[in-house]
Structure 1
Amino acid sequence: MTERVPHRNPWLVLAGFAGVVGVVAVVGALAATSAKDVYARLELPSWAPPASLFGPVWTALYVMIAVSGWLYWRTDGETRGFAAYGVGLLFNLLWTPLFFEGRATGVALADILLLDVTVVVTIVLFGRRSKAAAALLVPYLGWILYATALNTAILVLG
């Protein structure tokens, strides 16, 4: 006979997802203390967004990332989906320090390419159990693909 694991309070779990994603956001923000200065000094393509756009966009995306993970959890999501989600958060966490503080645009490009692939895998895995969880990651994928193109352009122009 197997013992049944009691269900956790879903609101506490949502807070946990928000907390984990919040740590990624805070580390990125701390690593980006000189981002505005660095960004202003970069050779940017004409289609580069203003620096003031990054904060609001990332805030909305981080909320969607947290809710997506929570919605997947509510489906009793499988380990592979959570593994991809976690690896994606790690690649996300690494990009800002690599790009802005380390000024390692080539390494940052490799990181964000891995992030792109990981988010696609996460969307596919989440989509098998929750279309809403997968859909919440689509704007994130769009933004990081745009950031990948921007990172590439900066590397080429620099």
Structure 2
Amino acid sequence: MRRARPLHRWVGVPLTVLIVLSSVTGILLGWKKQFAVLQPPVQRGASLDARDWLPLHQISAAAEAALHARLGEPPGPIDRLDVRPSKGVAKVLFRDGFWEAQVDLSTARVLSVDRRASDFIETLHDGSLFGEGGRVTVSTLLGLGLLLLSMSGLWLWWGPRLTRRRT
């Protein structure tokens, strides 16, 4: 039992930074759809009928042109297209700068261009801000640290009760 207290302290104190960061970013990610500052609200396109929709290369070209106009320079590569059939829009997400352009699927009209703070928050939350190695390191440290803290904390709480019960 005497070894559990310093172990608990030496794991807990440095791990507190990761726990607080993970907790705060997790809360923000849980609320991202409630606040436009975290993630732009989904717009509504002119038609929900997929037969009216334009090809994705036209949608992505419209998004690239709109972001180019906004930034004054060519945008980086597109990371992904998130098609929302129930809204008639595609969210075009860019790899650099956490930018998003929402484009009407039937007219290719750009409905909004904005940053996605939630994507930055997610990279902090999962450690991927520091690359794939950082993501693996952060999740491993956090997981092992919380496991050790749980076990040593349980022992610090339960150990004295066992000792008293035996005597």
TM-score by length of 2: 0.30
Higher relative contact order (CA 8 A, sep 6+): 1
TM-score by length of 1: 0.31
Kindly name which structure, 1 or 2, has the bigger radius of gyration based on alpha carbons: 2
